[in-house]
Amino acid sequence: MPVIGDALRLDPKRPVQREMEFVRELGDVFEINIVGSKLIVVGGGAAAAEVFDESRFAKAVVPPVSNLRELAGDGLFTAFNREPAWAQAHNVLMPAFSQLSMRSYHDAMTQCVDELCDYWTDQAGRGPADISSDMNRLTLEVIGRTGFGYSFDSFDSERHEFVEAMTRVLSFASKAANDVPILREIFGWKALRQNPKDIALLKRSVDDVIAARRDGTTPRQDDLLQRMLEHPDPDTGGLLSDASIRNQVLTFLIAGHETTAGTLSFALHYLSLNPEMVDKARAEIEAVIGRDGAPIQFEQVAKLRYVRRIVDETLRLWPSGPAFFRKARADTTLSGYQLGKGATILVVLLALHRDRRLWGENAEEFDPDRFLPAAVRARPAHAYKPFGVGARACIGRQFALHEAVLALSRILMRFDVVPTPGYELSVSELLTIRPEKLRLHLRTR
């Protein structure tokens, strides 16, 4: 339409799911025009392989991601590619996210999962559990304790003021990307006034955590915060500034909890509907860990291959970061179309991960065996990218996978997961995706 372009065809509440419908309607590559600004969308096929090529394309920091810069500044996720703070923090933090480093987080993760299970046991008789909310409690607690030695008391208290402020800030950043500014002034004035207060509270709280560690009020710990305080960047020899440490802490809280929580929630949804998968997973868990309910050891997590396939398949059907942005490094072409330097491209993973040419006619079905090693080898590498691509791919990949496999295995050891009759999956979006109003009965085994 004149002036507003395709704006009326978008769905501000479920933007990525709408893009997925467009991909089905229009094909692998198309352009949408939102009030004069043009966005290229890629949803599958060879175009995806092209746009993942780091020599021609790079991460683009545009709304809604750039809206988070107000909170996380040049933190890892929101930094522009050339900002020096990115390379410095990347160099300092990469070793802390290797598969081996997971050993130092394993016990805290196990403890948090057990606290969740105890919380569910205490709640028994109060009806089905609110899965997305409980998974958020778990993953926030895990990143808080493993990252910064901080507990949000997730299983004892009702909502924590920090968590409430963070939820509002994420919601604000996500909605701001789809709103018309003048309408926001009129209808969203309350959120507009609240947002700076929330951001100030979040920054203040994190500054307090950092200061307490620095002056010895809280003990030294082998975690991400200690690493940032002590380890210089091997390239420059410099330590991260306090502002950068604060930005990274906020970044991990944002990037490291809702994504894994969404993944766990979707996985539990599918497991509740597929008892034969639960049987198979339990047979594996019992073979690796035994039947006596002993805690899962660090080395055992990597042996839970079927549980891992459940996680992989969950991230295929519902990648919790459902889309990401790329930009052309120079004038180039994409699927034969001309692109100017800097052109922004949205990669809709949700569509790519269901591309029938890559995943077969049953692409919409949940089937963990798609991730058997031979099947993985038979597919092109660009078919599956739940953790992004290139230099700016997810630093927390191993962390998320370790946590998800550990948590799912422990939950299946302790509970039967029973669906609530009549539940139809609907998916809400707020930068990340999650099953909406998913409630499951958890019966102690």
- Residues with active-site annotation: 259, 387, 394
Residue 324 contacts ligand HEM per CB under 6 A: yes
Residue 399 contacts ligand HEM per CB under 6 A: yes
Residue 366 contacts ligand HEM per CB under 6 A: no
Kindly tell me which of 47 and 315 has the beta carbon lying closer to ligand HEM: 315
> Using an 8 Å Cβ cutoff, are 261 and 139 in contact?
yes
Taking CB under 6 A as the criterion, the residue among 396, 402, 407, 417 binding ligand HEM is 396
Kindly tell me which of 176 and 420 has the beta carbon lying closer to ligand HEM: 176
Burial of residue 374 (number of CB atoms within 10 Å: 0-12, 13-18, 19+): exposed
Residue 132 contacts ligand HEM per CB under 6 A: no
Residue 260 contacts ligand HEM per CB under 6 A: yes
Kindly tell me which of 191 and 228 has the beta carbon lying closer to ligand HEM: 228
> Using an 8 Å Cβ cutoff, are 412 and 421 in contact?
no
The contact pattern for ligand HEM, residues 84-123, with x = CB under 6 A and - = no contact, is ------x---------------------------------
**Closest distance between ligand HEM and the C-beta of residue 401, in Å?**
7
264: nearest Cα among 400, 428, 120, 110: 400
Taking CB under 6 A as the criterion, the residue among 175, 370, 392, 434 binding ligand HEM is 392
**Closest distance between ligand HEM and the C-beta of residue 185, in Å?**
29
Residue 400 contacts ligand HEM per CB under 6 A: yes
Cα-based angle 227, 229, 234 (whole degrees, multiple of 5): 65
Residue 394 contacts ligand HEM per CB under 6 A: yes
**Closest distance between ligand HEM and the C-beta of residue 432, in Å?**
8
Query: How far, in Å, CA of 296 to CA of 291, rounded?
Result: 11
Query: How far, in Å, CA of 351 to CA of 139, rounded?
Result: 26
Residue 265 contacts ligand HEM per CB under 6 A: no
Residue 301 contacts ligand HEM per CB under 6 A: no
- Joined together, the tokens standing for residue 247 give 């930005």
Query: How far, in Å, CA of 392 to CA of 58, rounded?
Result: 8
- Bond into 275 cis (ω within 30): no
Contacts of 105 (CB under 8 A, 6+ apart): 142, 146, 223, 399, 402
- Joined together, the tokens standing for residue 413 give 């050891």
Query: How far, in Å, CA of 37 to CA of 325, rounded?
Result: 15
**Closest distance between ligand HEM and the C-beta of residue 320, in Å?**
4
Sole residue written with tokens 């922004």: 344
Instruction: Tell me how far apart the terminal alpha carbons of the chain are, to the nearest angstrom.
Output: 58
Q: Which residues bind ligand HEM (CB under 6 A)?
A: 59, 65, 76-77, 90, 143, 251-252, 255-256, 259-260, 263, 315, 319-321, 324, 386-388, 392-396, 399-400
